Structure 1
Amino acid sequence: MLAQIQVMKHLYPKLTLAKYQLYLQDMVPHNYKQVAIFEKEVCVGISGYWTGTKLWCGKYIELDNFIVSPDHRSKGIGKIITDYINDKAEEIGCTNIVLDAFTTNFAAHRFYYNQGYGPKGFHFVKILNEEGLT
């Protein structure tokens, strides 16, 4: 996962290797995994995902940090990732797949709508430390 930091930096330009490593140490023990698409030796798309259980829906998968390198967008890479996650969710008995997209990321909204995703509610955030954000 650490080897793909350059792809992660497309979404989080301030992410350092040290911070990424620290976060992964916390995340991986809590069911965080990644799926990546490579063109030869180069990672061109990546998404993290979590599995969990909630009272309202039972078992689910949550997509997180979904990124396709800018020069590889509109080539079907995002669809390969969402198809993989969909198959994975069905395989392990999930009732749904969830994700967050920044409210200003209209290209992502369009992509997710085209993949069959739609808003179910609001994800409210109360930022306590602006400097701590990546």
Structure 2
Amino acid sequence: MSKIHATPFSFKIIDKKDINTIIPLIQKLTNNKNSDAVLKERFAEMVEQNYECAGIYDEEKLIGVCGMWFQTRHYSGKSMEVDHVYIETNYQGKGLGKNFFKWLYDYAKSKGCNTSELNTYVQNYPSHKFYYNEGYEIFGYHFYKTL
């Protein structure tokens, strides 16, 4: 008789006071674009705005993150904008992202959201496939200008 093992993975909102625990993963995602000090400063501001972050844990180890911005938009109503999604490489391709997004959608619905949107880099083809499979559609282009 085979044993059924409980999954070691869990999803949860990262407490504001623990937001800096995501910095090592964000550094991997962005190839160290900003220093840890800059990220600490920015995340300190973000958590005081309409920003939250969810984590994927393998037991106690943080292996994935997803930032979420909550706002009301004239074209879509109350929305969750998914931001900086990252799962450690050796955990990718195992269905964990799909389960994480189901959890994120349920969380957003519990906060009254009826839509989810996101931006992804043009050259990030694996993410495009994932988001298409999640039912996202392309609505426009995201423009960026440094001031």
What TM bracket, shorter-length normalisation? 0.7 to 0.9
Structure 2 residue aligned with 1:96: 115
Over the aligned positions, Cα root-mean-square deviation in angstroms equals: 1.3
Equivalent residues of 1:35, 1:81 under 8 A apart: no
| Residue type at the aligned position of 1:52 | Q
Moved more, 95-104 or 5-14: 5-14
Structure 2 residue aligned with 1:114: 133
| Residue type at the aligned position of 1:12 | T
Larger radius of gyration: 2
Deviations 1:4-56 (A, max 9, x none): 22111121122322111100121111111111111122211110001001112
Structure 1 residue aligned with 2:61: 42
Which runs of 5 or more structure 1 residues have no equivalent in the other structure? 129-134
2: distance between equivalents of 1:31 and 1:85? 16
Question: TM-score normalized by structure 2?
Answer: 0.81
Equivalent residues of 1:45, 1:77 under 8 A apart: no
Which runs of 5 or more structure 2 residues have no equivalent in the other structure? 1-18
Identity %: 30
Structure 1 residue aligned with 2:85: 66
- 1:78-97 mapped onto 2 (5 Å cutoff): 78-97=97-116
Aligned residues: 128
Q: Which structure 1 residue ranges, 4+ long, deviate > 4 Å from structure 2? A: none
